Each structure stands twice: as C-alpha cells, then as structure tokens.
Amino acid sequence: MEKKNIVITIARQYGSGGKTVGEMLANELGIHYYDKELAKLASEVSGINEAMFVTADENKKNMPIFKSSKSVYQGEVLPPESADFTSDDNLFNYQAKAIKELAEKESCVIIGRCADFVLKDYDNVLSVFVHAPHDFCMEQAGKKHSLGSKDLEKLIAKIDKHRADYYKYYTGKEWTDARNYDLCLNSSKLGFERCVEEIKSYIKVRFGEVF
C-alpha cells in the first residue's frame, strides 16, 4: 500500500527555536523543509517574478499594512489579466496555492506562511505551534543578534507582532490561540530534540508508521 504524504506546519514565536525544530524534524524524517524556498515555488506556479514575493515579504515586515482590515484567504487566485494580479494579497494566494500543491505531492515541513490555515481542510496535515517564555526567547535571540537587552526585547516584540498581525489578516484568527493547532510545544521545557520526538510520536499515533 502506498504511504500517505504527511505535512507538518510549524508556527513559532521568535526565539522559541521553531525553525530549528522544523529543520531537525525534516532532517530526521528525510523530507523537505520549506521556508524561503516557498517564494520560488510560488513564482513557478504563478509566473510572477520570485523577487516580487521576496520583496512583498520584506515590505510586510516593515509596514503596518494590517492595521484595520483583513483579507481572509478563501482559496482563490486572480488571473494575469487582473489589475491586482501582483498585489500583496494575490501573491499570498499564489504562495498558498504552492503550499497546497506541496501537500498533495510530498511529505514535508512548512514554516510559517499561515500554512496551518491554508491546509486546514487537508487530513494529512499536522499543525504545530512552538512557543517559549520571554527569557528563553531572549536567550536564543541573543545568540543571533548582538543587541542590548532593551533593543533585543523590541526586536522580538516587533517580529512577533508582525507574525500575529499577518496571521490575523489572512486567517481572521489569533496566531497564539492553541485551538488553531494540533500540537503546542513549550521548547524551553522540552528542548529542541525532545520537541522533535514529540512531533514524531504524534505523527505515529495519528497517522501510523508513515516514515
């Protein structure tokens, strides 16, 4: 019998190590890990230059575009003849389309991009949220950034706020709400390796021996 594709989506607080957990998990399971590579895939799906996806991601990090309205993802994409073909919202739509195509053809780990919401109707998806207390996130972020504690605190708050706003804008839901995910892990209590083991155990219980 052919084995089923299993997709693990990982949302994470900045400094919690969710990206590291995702990379370790993908490596242990022998499957692909997708983060920035999604821009290239979305470009291939849409025909829109990859740089536009990268630029849109960077712009969203620096602009308060999610202030009042939201554009909950419905699954549609606009065609090339549309005036909004290269709008930020349609770029998200094509990125979501690329994510869906991945879920249909291979087992993989996908970081961020509201992938848990995009794939909410897929029964082969395990959605994970990795979080940690403030001090742990500060410690981990401090390993990547040479900043004073106040500046580091501001950086973490800014990135997490952006992720929360981005998630709310495209899903209409709260990013940190445990009800959005199958599994929530406190990386400070478990450590990264144990987080990987917990996800693998969950996969085994829910999907059986698929890897």
**pLDDT of 128:** 98
Q: List domains and CATH numbers for the chain.
A: 7-204 (3.40.50.300)
63: pLDDT strictly greater than 70? no
Rounded average pLDDT over 149-177? 93
Secondary structure E strands in the chain: 7-12, 32-34, 108-111, 125-131, 183-186
pLDDT at 72: 86
Q: How far apart are CA 94 and CA 109, in angstroms?
A: 18
Is residue 88 a contact partner of residue 56, using CB atoms and an 8 Å limit? yes
Stronger pLDDT, 148 or 18, i.e. the higher one: 18
Kindly list the distances between the CA atom of residue 48 and the CA atoms of 41, 43, 57, 93, 98, in Å, as whole numbers in the listed order: 10, 5, 14, 12, 13
Residue 43: its pLDDT value, please?
Answer: 93
Q: How confident is the model at residue 67 (pLDDT cuts 50, 70, 90)?
A: low
Provide the pLDDT for residue 71.
76
What does the mean pLDDT of the chain come to? 91
CA distances from 55 to 17, 49, 91, 161 (A): 25, 10, 11, 19
Half-sphere exposure of 190 (CA within 13 A, CB side): 19
Confidence (pTM): 0.91
pLDDT of amino acid 1: 42
Q: What is the pLDDT of residues 176-199, one digit of tens each?
A: 999 999 999 999 999 999 999 999
Amino acid code (one letter) for 204: K
Does residue 66 surpass a pLDDT of 90? no
Summarised one tens digit per residue, pLDDT across range 7-62 is: 999 999 999 999 999 999 999 999 999 998 999 999 999 999 999 988 876 666 55
Does 64 score more than 90 pLDDT? no
- Cβ atoms 26, 108 nearer than 8 A: yes
Cα–Cα distance measured from residue 75 to residue 73, given in angstroms and rounded to the nearest whole number: 6
